[in-house]
Amino acid sequence: VAVVVPAAGRGERLGGGLPKALRPLAGEPLLVHAVRTLAGAPSVDRIVVAGPRDQLDVVVDLVRHALGDGPAVTVVAGGESRQESVAAGLAVLDESVDVVLVHDAARALVPVEVVERVVAGVRAGADAVVPVVDVTDTVRRVLAEGGSAVVDRAGLRIVQTPQGFPRHVLVGAHERARRAGGEPATDDAVLVERAGGRVTLVEGSTDGFKITHPADLAAAEALLTARGSQ
């Protein structure tokens, strides 16, 4: 089992001038938290980080320091979009890898149980496994003709990572997407779905939220403190 970690985003919505994956959370970069959790998942054998092209040396030092003797880790240069960053990570995986997870560095506090649930779903035969959580807000759709309409939230789910796939399925879907061109996708399951695969949902965790805005960093710090005092 290999995990590709797209970590090459600029993090403009988070501010602070650093690439998001390098922003500190409780004294350590987000990426270190994410990689350490993944390394602690019993199923994970290998990690590939797609880092910001201009800071690869920093990323190599960080992950080496964070993992020590843990699973093998490779750092590659990310691309202009998340999709390109994931593709760069997939490109260095060899035939011996049969399950690939893709996990956003920005979801630094995902629990290990979610990682294991996703791997189990792929092992059980799914084309794509996606952890989800319920929508807690009321949601409205803005209509093209003007106005808006409420959407029944009971039928909606929020998509998280890690998402899991048989390696050949994900590599094929990325190859197809690259040939087709167009707007890059914001997750990997949609690429598998476009290629004819079926998406299986499993239970995610509210702790797997994506750190996007400054308030998310504060929430993540609070969560770490709460975990530390348990």
CA distance linking residue 193 with residue 110, whole number of Å? 24
**Preceding peptide of 162 cis, ω within 30°:** yes
Identify which of residues 8 and 97 has a Cβ nearer to ligand C5P in the complex: 8
Q: What is the x/- site pattern for ligand C5P, positions 194-223, by CB under 6 A?
A: ----------------x-x-----------
Q: What is the x/- site pattern for ligand C5P, positions 110-149, by CB under 6 A?
A: ----------------------------------------
Among 38, 50, 100, 130, binds ligand C5P (CB under 6 A): 50
Residue 140: its H or E element: strand 139-142
Does position 23 bind ligand C5P by CB under 6 A? no
Which of these ranges, 64-72, 81-89, 192-200, 222-230, lies near ligand C5P under the rule CB under 6 A?
81-89
Return the exposure string of 208-228: e unless at least 16 CB atoms fall within 10 Å of the residue's CB, then b. Answer: bbbbeeeebbeebeebbeeee
Closest residue to ligand C5P, judged by C-beta, is 9
Phi first, then psi: give them for residue 2, nearest 5 degrees.
-115, 145
Distance of CA 203 to the CA centre of its chain: 15
Please report how many Cα atoms fall inside a 13 Å half-sphere around the Cα of residue 169, on the Cβ side: 27
Does position 61 bind ligand C5P by CB under 6 A? no
- Determine the Cα angle at 8 with ends 17 and 36, to 5°: 100
Q: Are the C-beta atoms of 173 and 92 separated by less than 8 Å?
A: no
Identify which of residues 8 and 90 has a Cβ nearer to ligand C5P in the complex: 8
Q: What is the x/- site pattern for ligand C5P, positions 147-186, by CB under 6 A?
A: ---------------------------------------x
Among 1, 4, 6, 170, binds ligand C5P (CB under 6 A): 6
Q: Which residues bind ligand C5P (CB under 6 A)?
A: 6-9, 20-21, 50, 78-82, 85, 104-106, 186, 210, 212
